[in-house]
A = this chain, B = another copy of it.
Amino acid sequence: MSATIDVTEILRAGVEATDAALERLLPAPDAVPSSIHRAIRHSTFAGGKRLRPVLAMEAARTLRRDRALPAGVEDLGAAIEMLHTYSLIHDDLPALDNDDLRRGKPTCHVVFGEAIAILAGDALQTLAYQTLAQLRCPAPATVEIIRLIAEATGTVEGMIGGQVLDLEGEGTRPTAESVDAIHRAKTGALIRVSIVTGGVYAGATPEDVERLTIFGRKAGLAFQIVDDVLDMTQDSAHLGKTAGKDLATDKATWPAVFGIEASRRDAARLIDEAFAALEPYGPAADGLKTVARFLVERTN
């Protein structure tokens, strides 16, 4: 069965379904007040790969014997992408990372000003919950999805908590513990919950939730390690600086603490452990595994 799974096609279809859902769910760019609606669309349609929605969809498929996508699951992916985008808009603000560019495009506050960027981030969070409250799954599953997502994006071991840990750690030498805690919370929690809520949307039992949680936790950490390694090796090529110099910086990344080779081994080990959690699903999990394998083996 896995021979028939084309990861490029899964990723392309995921982008297409998510972008169509976002186009339908976000207010029109000329809806009053238009400045914020243009700002929301500027940042939401900035060339994201929609990896979280793809993971949610493949997790949903894993629980279906026929691997069919449950109707409307793309709205769950769109809501998760709104949350991801809100966190990027606020992260880029002058008071936080002060980034003028993201994926080569000017950031939200550069184009629309700080006030609108703050409110556009706020509004994307609000729109995410409005979207979740209109999901086409039974009400108890919807409530569970909302609870899980709020928890994963909150301050206690969630996305915002990770941002705060990252801010607090600036200028201090990262340790294995601090890098792990930041990764788990800042990026890991939203990836994990994308996978788990995809399962809940498809009718997961408590055992399914437990397996998807283990898979999501380990795979999410592996993705982040690979991201950090790519950042570092791409930086080396781009800036002409050596890996040794990167290791000497205070950036809270996995390879900065453990080195590049150990990081690659850790990512490979984590993905093997993650796959073990999907054993009971047999070939139904092939899509999810294929996407995960692609993400840890990519070279850019």
Contact = CB atoms under 8 A, between A and B. Distances in A.
Interface of A: 27, 31-33, 35-37, 40, 86, 90, 93, 95-96, 113-116, 118-119, 121-123, 125-127, 129-130, 132-134, 138-140, 142-144, 146-147, 150-151, 153-156, 158, 160-161, 163-165, 167-168
Contact of A133 (B93, B121, B134, B150): B150
Contact of A139 (B95, B96, B142): B142
A33 B164 CA distance: 7
A158 to B, nearest CB: 8
B119 A33 contact: no
Contact of A154 (B130, B140, B155, B167): B130
User: Quick one: which of A40, A139, A143, A165 has the most chain B CB within 10 A?
Assistant: A143
Contact of A119 (B115, B130, B160): B160
A104 to B, nearest CB: 25
B146 A35 contact: no
A168 B35 contact: yes
A150 B121 contact: no
Given A95-B115, A164-B35, A134 B147 contact: yes
A86 B151 CA distance: 17
Contacts of A31: 155-156
Contacts of A130: 147, 150-151, 154
19 contacts: A31-B156, A32-B165, A36-B161, A40-B155, A96-B118, A115-B167, A116-B164, A119-B160, A122-B122, A122-B125, A125-B126, A126-B150, A126-B160, A129-B129, A129-B146, A129-B150, A130-B150, A132-B146, A139-B143
Contacts of A139: 138-140, 142-143
A95 to B, nearest CB: 4
Given A123-B155, A126-B160, A130-B147, 7 more contacts: A36-B160, A86-B122, A119-B160, A123-B160, A125-B125, A126-B154, A130-B150
B146 A133 contact: yes
A129 to B, nearest CB: 5
B133 A118 contact: no
Contacts of A118: 90, 93, 95-96, 118
